[in-house]
A = this chain, B = another copy of it.
Amino acid sequence: MSRTDAGLKVYGMSTSGNCHKVKLLLQQLGARYEWHEVDSADGQTRTAAFLALNPNGKVPVLQRNDGRVLTESNAILYWLAEGTPFLPADGWQRAQALSWMFFEQYSHEPYVAVARFISGWTPMDSPRRAELPRLRERADDALAVMERHLQAQAWFTGSDYGIADIALFAYTAVAGDGGIRLSLYPAVERWLQAVREQPAFVAMPLPDAQVQARFSASV
Interface residues, chain A, with chain B CB atoms under 8 Å away: 3, 55-56, 58, 68, 70-76, 78-79, 82, 91-92, 94-96, 98-99, 101-103, 105-107, 109-110, 144-145, 148-149
Contact at B98–A72, with CB atoms within 8 Å? yes
Residues of B within 8 A of A99 (CB): 70-72, 75
A79 touching B56 in the complex, CB below 8 Å, given contacts A102-B72, A105-B102 = no
A98 touching B110 in the complex, CB below 8 Å, given contacts A105-B105, A145-B56 = no
A-B contact pairs, 15 of them (CB 8 A): A55-B144, A55-B145, A55-B149, A58-B107, A72-B99, A72-B103, A74-B98, A75-B96, A75-B99, A75-B101, A76-B95, A98-B98, A101-B102, A102-B105, A105-B106
When C-beta atoms are compared, the residue in chain B nearest to A18 turns out to be B106
Q: In whole angstroms, what is the CA distance A135 to B30 when docked?
A: 42
A56 touching B102 in the complex, CB below 8 Å, given contacts A70-B96, A79-B92, A92-B68 = no
Contact at A82–B91, with CB atoms within 8 Å? yes
Residues of B within 8 A of A76 (CB): 95
When C-beta atoms are compared, the residue in chain B nearest to A82 turns out to be B91
Q: In whole angstroms, what is the CA distance A95 to B91 when docked?
A: 15
Contact at B56–A107, with CB atoms within 8 Å? yes
